[in-house]
Structure 1
Amino acid sequence: MRVAIAGAGAVGRSIARELITNGHQVLLIDKKPSAIRPERVPDAEWLLADSCELSSLEEAQLDRCDVVIAATGDDKANLVTSLLAKTEFGVPRTVGRVNHPNNEWLFSEAWGVDVNVSTPRIMSALVEEAVTIGDLVRLFTFRQGNANLVELTLPEDSPYVGKPAGLIPFPENCALVTILRDGQVYVPSQDQPLESGDELLFVVSADKEEELERLLAPSLHGG
């Protein structure tokens, strides 16, 4: 897979190293000469250019890319890069970094962003996930299908403690994908019993989140 990353700062370089380790071809783009440091990611291609300029993206041959990641520290630049990648070059997948939470609503399909990644939101979700029991924590939003990745730690008074997962009447458009227990990852099966303290990861539509909370933690959510 060929991936172009706009922004060769610490975030962009870290993403590039990870993708290269996984066998992908990476192009790093930055308009600041001081950011062009090929020795820091020697296996990547480097381009000194402004990703907000159409001519620069033509030079980068974005039409050959499978994914474009807009990872600069400037939300305006990330939006423009994503929009150009999607509308002018038909890039199949775009990922936009959100630096300021107030701008998150802009990072949508209207601006050519398939997936937005908000560092503040991720950090707050991780804090919530670590300290809450019985409350649903939204970890990630999928642009396609209006679905979210959510986590709920099963409280000890849940009516489904000890019950097999296959017998739980989960809402429609809701799927239990993983059970985290004692540091282990379990792929849920129909006869897998749930235990108090299990961290349950679901993919669920936004309009079914409250119903899921009421089902699994009725004492907290009036189910």
Structure 2
Amino acid sequence: MKVIIIGGGQVGSYIAKLLLENNCSVRVLEKRESVLDKLKRMFPEDIIIGGNGTDPNILESSGVMEADVVAAVTGADETNLVAATIAKFEFNVPRVIARVNNPQNAWLFNAGMGVDVAVNQADFLAHLVVEVMDLKNILTLMKVDRDNYSIVQLIVDSQSESVNKAVRDLGIPKNTLLIAIYRGEDIIIPHGDTIINGGDKILAFADEEGKIRINELFGSRL
């Protein structure tokens, strides 16, 4: 998977680290010289690109035309929104994710502006504090204001039908995406051949029907 990350601060560098550990192709765009120096000490220099992520020429030089995902995660909402719009409508990037810093700007981050998924940190944290339980095993972390989708977390029951099976054999619904598997101290980006273990903590993106199905898949059969 090829990912372009716009913004090399704490959020962007952390995402880059996780993706590189999972063998993804990554490019990080950053315009601040002080941050660039830090990034070059953290990562191979060939993945770091100096420049403004809202500049189409810089984006093109980063390989955005071949990217599967663009994640605009700077600390400035206007930068993230402009970068998302350019990535989606000028370069036809399949999936564009944008960070929302100011909750009052969240309404701007929509499909019409090129944003497929808006990550509203304030909303995310609020849901973590409230810990709203959904169905039997699923904790809803964040509602996505489109088509009843949510980012959810669940723990695989040791007696579930999914244990010791590969992801490709589980019949995951088409409109559901397994984002990550937390296994002890490890974070796994799931692929078709990833084997599910009892006790795995799974982060998923799903609509209402998808949540019902994965609750059945990963919950107890008793």
Instruction: Kindly indicate whether residue 76 of structure 2 is the aligned counterpart of residue 39 of structure 1.
Output: no
Note the alpha carbon deviations across 1:174-195, whole angstroms, 9 max, x for none: 615348xxxxxx8125x43xxx
Q: Is contact 1:82–1:113 with CA below 8 Å preserved after alignment? A: yes
Q: Percent identity?
A: 34
CA shift, 1:40, in A, is 1.4
Instruction: Kindly indicate whether residue 59 of structure 2 is the aligned counterpart of residue 57 of structure 1.
Output: yes
Per the normalisation by structure 1, the TM-score is 0.65
CA 44–122 in structure 1, closer or farther in 2 if over 3 Å, else same:
farther
Highest Rg: 1 or 2? 1
d(CA) in 1 for partners of 2:67 and 2:134?
Answer: 42
Partner of 1:17: 17
Per the normalisation by structure 2, the TM-score is 0.65
What letter matches 1:4 in structure 2?
Answer: I
CA 20–149 in structure 1, closer or farther in 2 if over 3 Å, else same:
closer
- What is the RMSD computed on CA atoms of the aligned residues? 2.8
Instruction: Kindly indicate whether residue 208 of structure 2 is the aligned counterpart of residue 177 of structure 1.
Output: no
Alignment of 1:183-194 (within 5 A): 187-188=218-219, 191-192=221-222
Note the alpha carbon deviations across 1:16-54, whole angstroms, 9 max, x for none: 000001110110001111111311123760111111111
SS in 2 for 1:27: strand
d(CA) in 1 for partners of 2:134 and 2:69?
Answer: 37
Name segments (4+ residues, structure 1) moved above 3 Å.
132-138, 141-146, 149-152
d(CA) in 2 for partners of 1:151 and 1:51?
Answer: 31
SS in 1 for 2:78: helix
CA shift, 1:146, in A, is 3.2
Name stretches of at least 5 consecutive residues in structure 2 with no aligned partner.
Answer: 155-207
What letter matches 2:90 in structure 1?
Answer: E
Q: Is contact 2:98–2:109 with CA below 8 Å preserved after alignment? A: yes
Partner of 1:85: 87
Total equivalences in the alignment: 164
